[in-house]
Structure 1
């Protein structure tokens, strides 16, 4: 398992021992500024709504933290999304490059070393396709064995404007929200730790508590989130990029929030039935197995293609050599005949 991904900060020409710490501080500052701007936007919007006689400030403020409302979902997802541009700006200032270019690593020309390659869109789509059936099967199992967890989903969905608007918000914002979490907790955090500590286990494990306690769940739920973080961290190292974590995180959150909206479940719940926890823990494990198998298959295919290409090149070279050799040999034999006695 390569450590190239988590050593990107350290490999930069501008790197100093304190540079990663400076990135963290600047990210926090920019994120704080973003939250202030977001809150200011909410105040302006609330004043416009209240002035129109459509509510009071207290009730509007409550909806902003209630995931059962459109305001709450939009506000909550944007709050997380703002972490990404904060990290981009901080990395740009300290290392003179955008973090976007460090989302994955690959080999440079002539295998001169690992270089940042940005987002590999093909792999992102591939991993999302791997995650969709896993979560689809998990959702069916959940409906069969724990129908109460899905609220009204088994008896039919009550379609209205609120449900439609919340689903649109989920599909539009969740990809950015999930990607932002991966950039911060698997991208930025793992590179910061990897610039100071060599063993990759530290880069995987140290960010886990911060990721876990950013989620408001009961103990089983926090354990579930911790297992998710470890698995995705290992897969990030295994695939040399954030695409695998982004893909699974996107699929996971779209299923979780989308099914919650459709079923009318309590989106603010911090606990759930044991079957939900078991399924939620099992899904990333199954996904990880599929990613490993798929990666090995692709590697074997690439190696076979390279071998065929090398054999073809060697055959072409060998087919040219005999003609040249015969000409030279005959020429030498003709030019260097022994004189008669």
Structure 2
């Protein structure tokens, strides 16, 4: 059990059961999920029950724990059934699949381009593969396939519902996506306007009309899905994998952001240091946005608008081949301008998310296996491990004393003894009713002068002889 997954009693936590807040952006909780079990407290006017270490008035206020606050985006793979090797296998499989899918789709696109005369065979033999609409389509399709594989790992290896890949709320939050369009749309509108106005359009060589339409169709129809696929892979799966290797929301955010942003920059295969810096910071900003908004909706919007805007402007300017050039010398200090634009836009989206109290925490749970479903066992939740059966002192309900089973009432003695002697209560002023099963005065089986509950042949104040069947 992890330190931030309380499953045992903690004297620093209040024994009062916490009410379940309603689900919504303000609480970050989902309905139907219980908080860590706590022992019921005795009323304030009652003495402390035997075995309870503290009185209710002596306990400090409850301290929010990982179970009570939920998990952040980067912590969502930190579950009892997760193991570190699952994350390593997933990252390696995703990187290998990206290379294989990119090679396969590029090969198919290259064969079609050579058959249609768009690509020269001599240039291919020299390793010079030009840009074409089919090449751009091949790149986008390879990343979309990669996202499908990430979704499979999320569902069947980490055993989480598909909706949790979108956000900590377990669904794609369309309302928050529309709200995020306000700062993101305004920011990109200003940035793209400045970019277009400052460009020297006379120096560009526009593409033929047919080629321009082909490029625009590929960009508008597939680039948004390509951008979303990269977010699902790097911010949705890889960031959570690395975040599950450490404890706590801040360490998970730091490690998850570091690993996902580095792999994101490496996946673009850039050879220019300025381009590498741009891709790395791009990944860092979107990782922070996913953390503080609790999902991938806003990062997908930023990524999609950024890629579509750049490819559309490059198509009209005829510089689309230069747009995907990542060789040494392709970048420069001018790359700080798009870096600053992405930083400002991401920061504005984070501020809006916190102002609107967008759900930032959720309850991660694993889908139970078939055997668990058949036996009625619940899904594993964060901190849901039960204490060992032999460790009775660690049970959360240790303050609740077991109620002894009611045995056969004993009626030995003539004095008042816990109400089991059959004698009337000295404080009772009304007529005495005989106990069920006890013969009243004048009833059959009672001798003259024999008191209720007195054995035959027993004098006043005498105890009956021991019987072999009694201890």
User: Is the structural similarity TM-score above 0.5?
Assistant: yes
Residues 92, 99 of structure 1: 8 Å contact kept: yes
Question: 5+ unaligned residues in a row in structure 1: which ranges?
Answer: 107-116, 301-341
- State the Cα distance separating 1:260 from its structure 2 match: 0.6
- State the Cα distance separating 1:247 from its structure 2 match: 0.8
The answer as to 2:321 corresponding to 1:255 is: no
- State the Cα distance separating 1:177 from its structure 2 match: 0.9
- State the Cα distance separating 1:269 from its structure 2 match: 3.1
1:60-75 correspondence runs (5 A): 65-67=129-131, 69-75=132-138
Alignment partners' CA distance in 2, 1:144 and 1:40:
38
After superposing on structure 2, the runs of 4+ consecutive aligned residues of structure 1 that deviate more than 6 Å are: none
The answer as to 2:67 corresponding to 1:24 is: no
1:36-185 correspondence runs (5 A): 38=105, 41-42=108-109, 46=112, 50=115, 58=121, 65-67=129-131, 69-97=132-160, 99-106=162-169, 117-147=170-200, 152=204, 160-185=209-234
- State the Cα distance separating 1:92 from its structure 2 match: 2.8
Residues 285, 346 of structure 2: 8 Å contact kept: yes
Structure 1 residues 28 and 180: alpha-carbon distance in aligned structure 2, compared to 1, 3 A threshold: same
Residues 208, 229 of structure 1: 8 Å contact kept: yes
Alignment partners' CA distance in 2, 1:291 and 1:20:
29
* C-alpha RMSD of the superposition: 3.3
Name 1:206's counterpart in structure 2: 259
Residue of 74, 83, 86 corresponding to 1:6: 74
SS across alignment from 2:267: coil
Residues 75, 244 of structure 2: 8 Å contact kept: yes
Number of aligned pairs? 279
Structure 1 residues 2 and 214: alpha-carbon distance in aligned structure 2, compared to 1, 3 A threshold: farther
Residues 170, 258 of structure 1: 8 Å contact kept: yes
1:235-254 deviations in whole A, cap 9, x for unaligned?
A: 11100111121110001101
Structure 1 residues 64 and 137: alpha-carbon distance in aligned structure 2, compared to 1, 3 A threshold: farther
TM-score normalized by the length of structure 2: 0.52
Name 1:234's counterpart in structure 2: 288
Alignment partners' CA distance in 2, 1:29 and 1:220:
26
1:278-289 correspondence runs (5 A): 278-289=336-347
- State the Cα distance separating 1:75 from its structure 2 match: 1.5
SS across alignment from 1:176: helix
- State the Cα distance separating 1:37 from its structure 2 match: 5.6
1:15-57 deviations in whole A, cap 9, x for unaligned?
A: 23433223334445655664576367548x639x73xx75777
Range with bigger deviation, 197-206 or 13-22: 13-22
Alignment partners' CA distance in 2, 1:6 and 1:120:
18
